[in-house]
Structure 1
């Protein structure tokens, strides 16, 4: 029988594209869960969008077994995303494990999400195993990267593992280190069902079995037939199945303390299972597990179907994605121009792009998505602007260009660290950062800079609604709150873009930007010219070139024909 001392729960955390999913593949092969060469690369990245983009956008748990020092160990691994938009997935994962592999690409060194994710692990008092990956590549700067980790974590060089996840070099030694260094789950005597405490860290909707929750058992046990409830919502559940991830769902008798697995709830309302909630016994009054923060959307966009008949299909699709994505938020809206739709909240621009692509691919929807915008709360007669703290990692030679760029986006310098790579911290309005700041950052640094950010506070700001008018009628889908100093620039930008995309009609179209009751920018789309050489479906003037020229000249002069 497996005891808690034989369980290791750990995650792989890193900056985007540093090799997390490839390392997970090698671990699955070494533990015999899959056979080398018999599976797709990045096996735990099940989403086709994730595979195509080469990034992890969804956490993925898996249970492995491995013999070590005469004992059989259960290794519960959770692979995590590396992009800043999906950092909430890392938060959920780290609440369920005792250790983390901190993976760094030897060709790139420490980057922004490396630091951000490491701090999350340190805050949760997790054991961190530092690893330098891709040491087999000719451009690898292995020793430099090791020194960065030594300086950052305050460790010795020999504590850093050097591996190649692609070839498998030194990966088995790393696996043994996980067993030796990551502590087992805290021993508990609470194995009865009435003492149950299990954290829900993910979930998805199955059309046949309802909501399937992913959970980590901290106290007590849970099995098929158990009557439990969600502590925050007080909703009762009769469990129809429990099991583990191999990596497919594999039923088991029960989930005991320290184990990570799934719980089939049979609930049909996808809003009833909140990620971050705690499963407890139905008759228990045990409080929810603490330390989990509910994530909130940072940007919003309006979403419509090109065919209004698909409105209900969009609603159902958003509800299904909502269960699997606790950061997604949506509410119904109506547009005179586009019909019924939804105002949808996202974590960032990549999150918005991934959600749109999933809706179109998985549910066959044709969508119109307005540009994502920031919300400005209106409190005591003033707009409040969200301000973020951004951390940029860059080589020394790009420092000047980055500082100029940040200042042009209303950034305020905070501090700078000159160790190895330069790390710069700025405060910046969220609306500036989500525009084209990251694209320009990549441009001025030739792609070498990396960025992490977090919401800092809300500041009172002079702002008002920028309205877009078409022939005098306001179009709400293109209206947004804009700070006063950016109003003229934003108004001109919007009317010029609309002039490029709105097709010509038989009548003139006036496009105007209005701010505080004044028109601040204007463009016009001229109508199609009437073909004066055609009358009653016949060519006027036949072969008389002079008559044709006379008709065209009259039209040009604006004379009535």
Structure 2
């Protein structure tokens, strides 16, 4: 359901037409008039409420900021020290003084940079110029420059009240009062592989900042995350970032928002905010908009903690992680009531009771508080030692109360599978424990044990995409220090047997070979995806050829409006998932000079002529190298891989046969010649039969090696990694 948003996004992008001539002229007229004198809107007509965009960002917005980052430093420093010196201040905010929001955007549109500026302006972190990706705490996030894990942080903002030109964005005329407000920010990933993280985080929010790059406009992932936010019924605050760059075109981006996203920028509370997250210009207007354009969490006020009056306590668990000293830490959003240290709470999922040992908020480090109230986002440590008890989507409530569980999260369906094995087979139990702890922090990963004749005990994991797999692997190495071996990725295939049974096969070992297929299988199907490629028009030919080589079926070609002067083309293809989990992304970036973007969503299954390719070393099947592929590519890959195996397998004292088979048919073979000791070197003269006797004795000894099993070929670990790298780059 999450990825299907990409499908709808591609259709809507292709249907948009762009004719900006008349509207742009009108916009210029309004901009020039605004530079002289900006009237206060007196009616609710489109002309009076249209936000004005000019080449100078100082004349644009209802929510403008004249406070630079340097000026804001002095005003927020006192707030910062007060908040941090008295952590209990966080527990004094009621529901009406709380806002919970998320930042959503396409990749590289400035989401993490905006979060840094918000933290600085609220005094949550010092303004020393060294703040970069403060909420991206993982090593993999800082190295790759992307957000892969949602983070929650609590800020305190001093709101000075509505300005003279304020118009309520709500039908009931809601207007906030001056004072201090508690802002809960949940920073979300931007890549489609982490859409489950986005969906979970949005469930704990009431509003979202939709950040769009003013130089690029609305992109495919912008539409995807926007639709996820609308499904959660969140209030959307559009923000145009990088508006200070020469290539920025706010007018055209605003038109895109109206035509593609359906955001009516003529209405109060929906006009885009122009900012520069890098310099901090206009970011104070974002904080003001969060208070004025969004409402507090719905519901009645909390009762007194002492008497437990009012609604019962309910909290949604939307994230968790394992701390080796504290046990399981649960990140929760308080839906009703309040909870304090010492309370006994119950899990709706397991029915077990726990005592609240500690609770608090992230600001951005963990700060303990006395109470968490309705609308707040914080962490709870409740003496939960078993990792399996921490369920994402669970509901916590007081032990002596009966409540209805909150709506949880739908389980994810993995798109890519891979086996993970320890380099040293004796380290399997340590590796399994590390995987379980990391999976606690990423519940979209599925885990099950598997065994390989070549690699020993390991785990087979399911992921939402290739980037998801690669990030999990790096986190496993960085955070737990494990040297691991990852098999080539595979996808789940559907097998329909002749007795009517349907089975999903994700491990090539369990896939029927040719002989079994003819006797027992009625239909083999492979998963398909609907992919949307967007690139400059000049790369159209190369990308079409690439998609054709990967068995892609072209569905649509369109030329959507672009926020830049370069004309873009958007192509929609239906592709087998197995074709894009290899090196498709690398080839796409190569043939487009890095300018192409690719988003995909699942698109059901389709019948395919699929076969299982096995590799035999000295007539022994190497199960960890088995792979499923289309019959049209079997011969080429079989020849390439047998040659590669011949190059990397060490020579033995006996001849080694390397075979590639489909069923019982050998389709490629290489022979690794044996080391041969010169057993006749010590003979000086004599009859030829003396030499022949020694040679025959040597030959019989090599036969005995094979017969006793001593001749079994052992592939060194570093060589096996080369084999797997070859497989992952199959043609």
Query: Aligned partners of 1:241 and 1:479: how far apart in 2?
Result: 50
1:451-530 aligned within 5 A: 451-528=598-675, 530=676
After TM superposition, give the deviation of residue 138 of structure 1 in Å: 4.5
- Match of residue 54 from structure 1: 145
CA RMSD, Structure 1 to Structure 2 (Å): 2.7
Asked if 1:266 is matched to 2:383, the reply is: yes
CA deviations 1:223-260 (Å, max 9, x no partner) are: 22222222233333222122111111111122221111
Q: Is the Cα contact below 8 Å between 2:95 and 2:301 reproduced in 1?
A: no
Q: Mean alpha-carbon deviation: is it higher for 504-513 or for 64-73?
A: 504-513
Report the CA distance shift for 1:286/1:473 in structure 2 as closer, same or farther (over 3 A): same
Instruction: Determine which structure has greater relative contact order: mean sequence separation of CA pairs < 8 Å that are 6+ residues apart, divided by chain length.
Output: 2
- Match of residue 95 from structure 1: 203
Query: Aligned partners of 2:596 and 2:468: how far apart in 1?
Result: 21
1:213 to 317, 330, 343: 330
Question: TM-score under structure 1 normalisation?
Answer: 0.89
Asked if 1:156 is matched to 2:303, the reply is: no
Asked if 1:396 is matched to 2:537, the reply is: yes
- Match of residue 548 from structure 1: none
Report the CA distance shift for 1:287/1:406 in structure 2 as closer, same or farther (over 3 A): farther
After TM superposition, give the deviation of residue 493 of structure 1 in Å: 4.3
- Match of residue 180 from structure 1: 292
More helix by share: 2
CA deviations 1:253-297 (Å, max 9, x no partner) are: 222211111111221111111112222333545343226222232
Q: Mean alpha-carbon deviation: is it higher for 32-41 or for 307-316?
A: 32-41
CA deviations 1:43-86 (Å, max 9, x no partner) are: 11111121111111111110001111121111110111112211
Asked if 1:440 is matched to 2:587, the reply is: yes
After TM superposition, give the deviation of residue 162 of structure 1 in Å: 1.9
Q: Is the Cα contact below 8 Å between 2:254 and 2:265 reproduced in 1?
A: no
1:27-426 aligned within 5 A: 27-37=118-128, 39-68=130-159, 69=161, 70-154=178-262, 155-156=264-265, 159-188=271-300, 191=303, 192=308, 195-290=312-407, 292-379=409-496, 380=501, 381=521, 382-420=523-561, 421-426=568-573
Q: How many residues align?
A: 540
Query: Aligned partners of 1:504 and 1:161: how far apart in 2?
Result: 67
Query: Aligned partners of 1:145 and 1:521: how far apart in 2?
Result: 56
Which residues of structure 1 form unaligned runs of 5+?
Answer: 542-554
Structure number, greater radius of gyration: 2
Q: Mean alpha-carbon deviation: is it higher for 21-30 or for 302-311?
A: 302-311
Query: Aligned partners of 1:232 and 1:291: how far apart in 2?
Result: 10
Query: Aligned partners of 1:44 and 1:206: how far apart in 2?
Result: 18
SS of residue matched to 1:86: helix
CA deviations 1:86-121 (Å, max 9, x no partner) are: 111111111111111111223433322112111111
Q: Is the Cα contact below 8 Å between 1:333 and 1:340 reproduced in 2?
A: yes
More strand by share: 1
Report the CA distance shift for 1:483/1:238 in structure 2 as closer, same or farther (over 3 A): farther
CA deviations 1:132-184 (Å, max 9, x no partner) are: 22233455455444443343233338812221111111111122112111221
SS of residue matched to 2:615: strand
Query: Aligned partners of 1:495 and 1:108: how far apart in 2?
Result: 46
Question: TM-score under structure 2 normalisation?
Answer: 0.69
Report the CA distance shift for 1:254/1:512 in structure 2 as closer, same or farther (over 3 A): same
- Match of residue 545 from structure 1: none
1:10 to 83, 92, 101: 101
Q: Is the Cα contact below 8 Å between 2:333 and 2:378 reproduced in 1?
A: yes
Query: Aligned partners of 1:410 and 1:108: how far apart in 2?
Result: 30
Q: Is the Cα contact below 8 Å between 1:465 and 1:479 reproduced in 2?
A: yes
SS of residue matched to 2:582: helix
Query: Aligned partners of 1:534 and 1:128: how far apart in 2?
Result: 86
- Match of residue 23 from structure 2: none
Q: Is the Cα contact below 8 Å between 2:531 and 2:598 reproduced in 1?
A: yes
SS of residue matched to 1:390: strand
